């Protein structure tokens, strides 16, 4: 009936205008507490000295772009995945390849090491996340024991085990994140809210509780409650896709890297962006970020083949690292903070210390 249609569109308009005014109120509330900048508070901290960081190991073996990597908790083994469809487990001390598996798809965009060190997870254009137990039995074919865990309706962009081998968190081009039980493949919780592809995720340090942060092509970073599936905080200050998110070691903040050529720091208790890491000379996107153990340094890999090292508190760049011959696509600091590993479209991984 015509009158029903009119009533509905009035409600829709009313809801939309309420949403706009709530957004305005959110900004006002955040602005009220913006009494100082992080870098001003950091003026009283000693400046950092000169850093000497060099490539200490180069891992060669992938036949195409390296897309993702993760460290094993033993601080030594590394899993990496590539556009060539291969997933390789390396001993980073010796550079030996310990395991290799060929996926049924190319563009394996995500890989992760299980906390126990006994399995790895990976996926990409197959829209799935699969878990492979790692076996040292030469007679066993790694691919034979493959377990399909997650099913999305678009590519898998990121995956991470939670604190045990039993659950995996995934992010996908289908705009959602999801939590899965590894053994049964059951979907435990799904997270809806991003308006476009989700490109990255990171779990809060275990002491902080059951939350994780995700970043996407909608330029938003969202913090989620893993139990309820609800988004608890959202940040929209980047000007382009967010490629990487990583929690600050205390769990009170997280950093992001974006195609807008900046990295940013968001404090969860102040509920706002508190620092932006950028330079006029940096015009290519940041693909991956990670913190040093204390949170003082932010390592960021860029599409201009470099790695920039930022003083998180003062907002200045302390070092620029050259070596890769194509985009840096992935970067993680080792579990004991003694080194970090970067993966690149130049087909190699480098360990820096």
Partner 1 sequence: MMSSTSDIGQARRAVEQLRMEAGIERVKVSKAATDLLQFCTEQAKSDPFLVGIPAATNPFKEKKPCTIL
Per-residue binder mask for partner 1 (CB under 8 A), 293-332, x = binder: xxxxx--------------xx-------------------
Residue 249 as a binder of partner 1 (CB under 8 A): the answer is: yes
Contact residues for 290 (Cβ-Cβ < 8 A; gap 6+)? 246, 298, 299, 331, 332, 333, 340
- Secondary structure element (H or E) that encloses residue 4, with its range: helix 2-32
Residue 11 as a binder of partner 1 (CB under 8 A): the answer is: yes
Beta pairing partners, 133: 119
Residue 250 as a binder of partner 1 (CB under 8 A): the answer is: yes
Shortest gap between Cβ of 257 and partner 1 (angstroms)?
18
For 143, the token pair is: 């691919």
CB atoms within 10 A of CB 161: 22
Out of 25, 60, 145, 279, name the contact with partner 1 by CB under 8 A.
25
For 98, the token pair is: 């310990």
Question: What's the angle, vertex CA 171, arms to CA 158 and CA 111, rounded to 5?
Answer: 20
Out of 247, 248, 254, 345, name the contact with partner 1 by CB under 8 A.
248
Residue 76 as a binder of partner 1 (CB under 8 A): the answer is: yes
**Closer CB to partner 1, 107 or 291, in the complex:** 291
**Burial tier of 255 (Cβ tally within 10 Å: 0-12, 13-18, 19+):** buried
Out of 136, 269, 280, 281, name the contact with partner 1 by CB under 8 A.
269
Residue 292 as a binder of partner 1 (CB under 8 A): the answer is: yes
**Closer CB to partner 1, 15 or 283, in the complex:** 15
**Closer CB to partner 1, 186 or 206, in the complex:** 206
- Secondary structure element (H or E) that encloses residue 39, with its range: helix 38-41
Q: Which of 125-133, 145-153, 166-174, 250-258 is the region at the interface with partner 1 (rule: CB under 8 A)?
A: 250-258
Out of 105, 151, 166, 231, name the contact with partner 1 by CB under 8 A.
231
**Closer CB to partner 1, 48 or 188, in the complex:** 48
CB atoms within 10 A of CB 279: 13
Distance CA 24, CA 32 (A): 12
- Asked if residue 287 lies in contact with residue 332, where contact means CB atoms within 8 angstroms, the answer is no
- Asked if residue 255 lies in contact with residue 298, where contact means CB atoms within 8 angstroms, the answer is yes
Q: Where along the sequence are the contacts to partner 1 (CB under 8 A)?
A: 5, 8-9, 11-12, 15-16, 18-19, 22-23, 25-26, 29-30, 33-38, 41-42, 45, 48, 51, 53, 56-57, 76, 92-93, 193, 230-234, 248-250, 252-253, 267, 269-272, 274, 292-297, 312-313, 336-339, 351, 353
């Amino acid at each position: 009936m015509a009158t029903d249609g009119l009533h509905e569109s009035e409600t829709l308009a009313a809801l939309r205008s309420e949403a706009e005014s709530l957004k305005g109120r959110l900004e006002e509330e955040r602005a009220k507490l913006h009494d100082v900048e992080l870098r001003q508070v950091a003026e009283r901290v000693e400046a950092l000295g000169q850093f000497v960081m060099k490539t200490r190991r180069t891992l060669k073996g992938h036949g195409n772009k390296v897309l993702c990597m993760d460290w094993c908790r033993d601080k030594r083994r590394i899993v990496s995945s590539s556009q060539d469809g291969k997933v390789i487990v390396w001993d980073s001390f010796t550079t030996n390849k310990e395991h290799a598996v060929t996926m049924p798809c190319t563009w394996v965009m995500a890989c992760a090491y299980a906390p126990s060190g006994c399995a790895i997870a990976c996926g990409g254009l197959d829209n799935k996340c699969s878990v492979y137990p790692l076996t040292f039995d030469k007679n066993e074919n790694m691919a034979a024991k493959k377990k399909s865990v997650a099913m999305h309706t678009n590519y898998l962009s990121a995956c991470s085990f939670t604190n045990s081998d039993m659950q995996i968190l995934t992010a996908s081009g289908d705009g959602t994140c999801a939590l899965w039980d590894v053994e049964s493949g059951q979907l435990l919780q799904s997270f809806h809210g991003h308006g476009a592809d989700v490109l990255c995720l990171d779990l809060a340090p275990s002491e902080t509780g059951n939350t994780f942060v995700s970043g996407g092509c909608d330029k938003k970073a969202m913090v989620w409650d893993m139990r309820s599936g609800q988004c608890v905080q959202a940040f929209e200050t980047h000007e382009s896709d967010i490629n990487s998110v990583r929690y600050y070691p205390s769990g009170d903040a997280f950093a992001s890297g974006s195609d807008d050529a900046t990295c940013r720091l968001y404090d969860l208790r102040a509920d706002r962006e508190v620092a932006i890491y950028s330079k006029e000379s940096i015009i290519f996107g940041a693909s991956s970020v990670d913190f040093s153990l204390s949170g003082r340094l932010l390592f960021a890999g860029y599409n201009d083949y470099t790695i920039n090292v930022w003083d998180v508190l003062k907002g200045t760049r302390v070092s620029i690292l050259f070596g890769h011959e194509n985009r840096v696509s992935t970067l993680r600091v080792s579990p004991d903070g003694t080194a970090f590993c970067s993966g690149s479209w130049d087909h190699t991984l480098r360990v820096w210390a």
